[in-house]
Chain A
Amino acid sequence: MSPPDLSTLARDGLWDNNPALVQLLGLCPLLAVSASVVNALGLALATLGVLMGSNLAVSLIRQRVPTAVRLPAFVMIIAAFVTCADLLMAAYAFELHRVLGIFIPLIVTNCAILGRADAFAARQPPLPALLDGLMMGLGFGAVLVLLGAIRELFGQGTLFAGLDLLLGPLAADWQLTLIPDYDFLFLVLPPGAFFTAGLLIALKNAIDDRRRRATAPTPRERIRVTGTPR
């Protein structure tokens, strides 16, 4: 099997086989940490880094790992990268690290990462594996940040609140208050995450449907000659 080219990887990761919208993997962190843009962005970056690192490492050792023990080996690799991400975040974005709490270590249980390691990286050379990690991570992260933006905007009326936790004091005044004195707790709480994620999946399917209908050739008219309906 020849490795897929970059555009195929990009289309798969970002749209056709998006981990969050199509594979529906990694929903636990996706739903738990998407109440605001800063939380979503923090988790998205951490997941992206872990996914690229684990895909590359799994691909490098793919010929040395016996099939029978491959899953424990992959999990150990992922756990190592998650520990790196956890410590890096604690060092450089401590406040955000405290906010995200258990969900950083829990990246290790994100099935999207193990899924990519087993389904793609273990069968492909390092460069496509790295690029697949990048594209899948970006696809997952894009949905995460979009979900965070929608929930923050319609839950609290703001956007980019507290972004300085992640990007430093430069971002301290990036907060946009689009709807002042506004509060819709439903979207901030977990049920709102399920609801918004469902709407995003529905939107993606609707767009796909419309595209398919636009590109499909117009069906040829067939005239029925047998068994004419009464």
Chain B
Amino acid sequence: MSLMHASTAQAVPGTPGVMRWVLVATLPGIALMSWHFGWGVLANVLVAGGLAMALEALMLRLRGRAIGATLGDHSALVSGVLLGAALPPFAPWWLLLVGVAAAIVVAKHLYGGLGQNLFNPAMVGYALLLIAFPVPMTQWVAPLGLVGPEALSPLEALRQLAGLGPGLDALSGATPLDAFKHKPEGLMAQEFWAGEPLPPGAQAAWRDVALGWLAGGALLLWRRLIDWRIPLALLGSLTLLSGLLYAGDPSQHGSPAFHLFAGAAIFGACFIATDPVSAAAGRRGRWLYGAAIGVLVVVIRTQGAYPDAIAFAVLLMNFAVPLIDHLLPPRPLGRRQRETSP
């Protein structure tokens, strides 16, 4: 077939090409995260990525599929890297293994492999770990840096990975979202922050990491590998709702900037919610999908039991995707907008 319809004759990169670009786009976020939080981030990402490749090969073998071609599409590597970047740095190996197994074995292959998974694999792994191991999953090491007098050495990162020696409890604390969630009832937000509830530099570190993810997201948008509607709708509804709450009572609610930059909102908007397999398919559907995730994130963060909510919000909307695709179906190629509306 050398003849192609004009509308499909664009240079669309295949899955391996897309996944390679996604991996490149994670680099600024991972680099900034490592710069602030140390070697544990790199250890997480590398080990989770490696485990994901190994488990993908194992599952393909068990299912009697060709290993080479599917493993070469890098999709498992992307899931592993994203999960590794989402987990607290200096995680022990078993935490990574359980999370990656839930992502690759359960969420991906038990549902039929790439393209068949209803749920975002990385977020299934993350949500399972958060439910199963709430304490290690909500303890973040202080931003001690990659190099410098206080930084933990690569050797220490390996020791933590192997689960040897004492944990890093003394050096760990809550994330900004977690700390703010457990703010004493009567305390005003300004008083709370004035009391310096976090290790020094933590908020700036989280903001830098969020900007790193934003840079990666911009790269994906520039390469047209993700649909701009999803991150825009997600971050827009999150900003709007948190802004309304903040305008109503600034003493008890986080500002929109806090909601945008203190947690995983930008990471989720650019790398998680945009997963083409588990997101809605149509344009109008994607607006709804992204906006609903943003609303859910704010609702869970302010009303729920968990400090951050990207994983739960994305998984809940993954549930809703078949319904969204039914109500707001993607427009068939070549059809005008008016013809589809019944």
Contact = CB atoms under 8 A, between A and B. Distances in A.
Interface in B50-108: 106
B133 interface: yes
B304 interface: no
A187 B133 CA distance: 11
A195 B102 CA distance: 11
B128 interface: yes
Interface string B100-130: 0000001000000000000000000000100
B171 interface: no
A99 interface: no
Measured as residues with beta carbon below 8 angstroms from the partner, the interface class of chain B is under 10
A179 to B, nearest CB: 12
B335 to A, nearest CB: 36
B131 interface: yes
Interface residues of A, number: 7
Contacts of B133: 185
Interface in A174-191: 184-187, 189, 191
Contacts of A187: 132
Interface string A163-206: 00000000000000000000011110101000100000000000
Give chain A's interface secondary structure class. helix
B134 interface: yes
A196 to B, nearest CB: 12
A186 B133 CA distance: 8
B118 to A, nearest CB: 14
Nearest to A184: B132
A184 B101 CA distance: 14
Contacts of B134: 185
A155 to B, nearest CB: 9
Nearest to B102: A186
Contacts of B128: 186, 191
B331 to A, nearest CB: 36
A187 B132 CA distance: 8
A184 B133 CA distance: 7
Interface string A197-229: 000000000000000000000000000000000
Nearest to A189: B131
Interface string B246-273: 0000000000000000000000000000
A146 to B, nearest CB: 20
A184 B106 CA distance: 17
A187 B102 CA distance: 13
A195 B132 CA distance: 13
Closest CB pairs A-B (n = 10): A186-B132, A185-B132, A186-B131, A184-B132, A186-B128, A189-B131, A185-B131, A191-B131, A185-B133, A185-B134
Given A184-B132, A189-B131, A191-B131, 10 more contacts: A185-B131, A185-B132, A185-B133, A185-B134, A186-B128, A186-B131, A186-B132, A187-B132, A191-B128, A195-B106
13 contacts: A184-B132, A185-B131, A185-B132, A185-B133, A185-B134, A186-B128, A186-B131, A186-B132, A187-B132, A189-B131, A191-B128, A191-B131, A195-B106
